[in-house]
C-alpha cells in the first residue's frame, strides 16, 4: 500500500485508535495500559462471579437432598447447575455425599458453552458404580474427556444442547448398575 491509499489507511487507523481511547476514557498513548488493566479486572470479576455462583449452588444443596433417588440402599443424585467452576462443584459433591450417606452424586456445571462434570461416590457405592465410569459415560456424549478414581472423578465437555438428556441417561445407567 502506497501513496494516497496508505495515507487513507493511516487516517482510518488513527480515527479507530482515537475512538477506542475515547470509549475507554483515556488517551491513545495510554490505551494499551488501560486495556491490560481492564482485562485483568475482568478476569478477577469472572473468578469472583464463579465463586459466588458456587456459593449460591451450595446454599441450594439442602433443597436437592429430597431429589436423590434411593436404589438398592444407595442414594443417587444427578443435577445440572449454571456454574462451571470445577472447584466449587468438587466441594459441592463432597458436601452432598456427606449429607446423603451411601450415595452417588453427579453434578454438571454448564456455562458459556462448556460443561464441567464432577462425580463422587461413597466407599460402598464406588464398589458398584465407579465415578470415573459415570463421568466417562457423560463426557463422551458431550465430546469431552475425563479422569479420576472410583470415588471421585472430573471431566469436561461441550454444551451441545443435550446436557439434560445426557444426564437423564446417566441417571438411568446408574440405576441399572445398582439393580
Range 110-134 average pLDDT: 93
pLDDT of 135 over the 80 cut: yes
Q: Is 126 helix (H, G, I), strand (E, B) or coil?
A: helix
Give the pLDDT of residue 49.
Answer: 85
pLDDT digits (tens, 9 = 90+) for 48-100: 887 787 777 777 788 889 899 999 899 999 999 887 778 888 989 999 999 99
pLDDT bracket for residue 179 (50, 70, 90)? confident
Distances 90 to 58, 105, 153 between C-alpha atoms, Å: 11, 10, 9
Picking from 86-90, 142-146, 174-178, which range would have the lowest pLDDT averaged per residue?
Answer: 86-90
Range 143-147 average pLDDT: 92
Q: Compute the distance between CA of residue 26 and CA of residue 166 in angstroms, rounded to an integer.
A: 48
Please, are residues 61 and 95 in contact by the beta-carbon 8 Å criterion?
yes
Q: Compute the distance between CA of residue 23 and CA of residue 16 in angstroms, rounded to an integer.
A: 10
pLDDT bracket for residue 112 (50, 70, 90)? confident
Give the pLDDT of residue 14.
Answer: 94
Give the pLDDT of residue 53.
Answer: 76
pLDDT > 70: percent of the chain: 99
- For residue 105, the tally of other CB atoms under 10 A from its CB is 30
pLDDT of 40 over the 90 cut: yes
With a CB cutoff of 8 Å and minimum separation 6, the contacts of 69 are 75, 76, 77, 171, 175
Report which DSSP code applies to 113: T
Range 38-48 average pLDDT: 93
Amino acid at each position: 500500500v502506497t501513496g494516497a491509499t496508505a495515507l487513507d489507511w493511516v487516517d482510518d487507523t488513527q480515527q479507530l485508535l482515537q475512538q477506542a481511547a475515547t470509549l475507554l476514557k483515556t488517551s491513545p498513548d495510554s490505551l494499551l495500559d488501560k486495556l491490560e488493566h481492564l482485562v485483568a479486572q475482568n478476569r478477577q470479576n469472572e473468578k469472583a462471579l464463579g465463586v459466588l455462583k458456587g456459593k449460591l449452588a451450595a446454599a441450594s444443596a439442602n433443597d436437592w437432598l429430597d431429589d436423590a433417588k434411593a436404589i438398592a440402599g444407595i442414594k443417587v443424585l444427578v443435577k445440572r447447575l449454571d456454574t462451571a467452576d470445577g472447584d466449587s462443584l468438587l466441594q459441592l459433591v463432597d458436601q452432598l455425599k456427606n449429607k446423603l450417606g451411601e450415595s452417588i452424586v453427579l453434578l454438571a456445571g454448564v456455562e458459556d458453552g462448556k460443561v464441567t462434570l464432577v462425580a463422587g461416590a461413597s466407599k460402598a457405592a464406588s464398589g458398584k458404580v465407579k465415578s470415573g465410569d459415570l463421568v466417562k459415560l457423560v463426557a463422551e456424549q458431550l465430546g469431552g474427556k475425563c479422569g479420576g478414581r472410583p470415588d471421585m472423578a472430573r471431566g469436561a465437555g461441550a454444551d451441545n444442547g443435550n446436557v439434560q438428556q445426557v444426564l437423564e441417561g446417566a441417571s438411568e445407567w446408574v440405576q441399572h448398575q445398582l439393580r
